[in-house]
Amino acid sequence: MEKAMDTLSSEFEFRVRWEPYMLRPQTPPEGLPIPDGYRDPNNPRVQYLRSVASSLGLDFNTNRKMFASTMTGHALLEYAKQVDDGDKQDDVAEKLFKKCFTDADDLQVDTCVNIAGECGLDKEKAREYIQDERNLNSVFNKAMSWSNRGISGVPTFYFNGQKMFSGAQESDVFQHMFKVVAEKYPVDPPASKS
């Protein structure tokens, strides 16, 4: 998606927003053990994920022993969406993915607070937000609302408010869909601020 956005940056203005969704909503804070097959380097799925990650300059870590609870990370993304017009949310998402999938981190509170600081967010306000039970409940309910709307996997992409597709796609698919959506579902540009 990012490659497609870069390619079409002179034609379109992009704004990425992340919404909470949980593949394993009942995961306890300490996480769940990852079955051995998910980490087996001979597993074709693992080989494919590592290959794709490598082609993008990423290291997909298969040494993780636990599926992390993503609740705190989702709460941080919601906090980032509410601050500075949400401009730092995409940075936060990138750092959360790196911590989880490259560094095999468990995304506990201190990790998320440090990510907030690295992205230019107020660390103490972020800590307060992600530890507030009301916020955690709100994030959980939002995540469940996506499930109730029929979302069953990640990533699922919406463009200009329209559900387009789920799953990883090649850059040319995104480029094509950006053009189709711009024509079929245009969005008025925001009014300029004076």
Kindly list the domain boundaries of the chain, sorted by start residue: 1-19+151-194
Looking at residue 128, what is its pLDDT?
A: 98
pLDDT of 36 over the 90 cut: no
CA distance 99 to 110: 12
pLDDT of 60 over the 90 cut: no
Between 136 and 60, name the one with better pLDDT: 136
Looking at residue 192, what is its pLDDT?
A: 47
Q: Is the peptide bond before 155 cis (omega within 30 degrees of 0)?
A: yes
Looking at residue 53, what is its pLDDT?
A: 82
Render pLDDT for 80-130 as a digit per residue (tens, 0 to 9). 999 989 999 999 999 999 998 888 888 899 999 999 999 999 999 999 999
> Which contacts qualify for 111-114: CB closer than 8 Å, 24 or more apart?
111/72, 112/72, 112/73, 112/75, 112/76
Render pLDDT for 150-186 as a digit per residue (tens, 0 to 9). 898 889 999 999 999 898 888 999 999 999 999 999 9
Looking at residue 189, what is its pLDDT?
A: 59
pLDDT of 12 over the 90 cut: yes
Cα dihedral 60→174→21→150 (10° resolution): -130
pLDDT of 194 over the 70 cut: no
For the segment 51-55, the average pLDDT, to the nearest whole number, is: 84
For the segment 184-191, the average pLDDT, to the nearest whole number, is: 75
Between 76 and 170, name the one with better pLDDT: 76
pLDDT band for position 136 (50/70/90)? very high
CA distance 168 to 35: 23
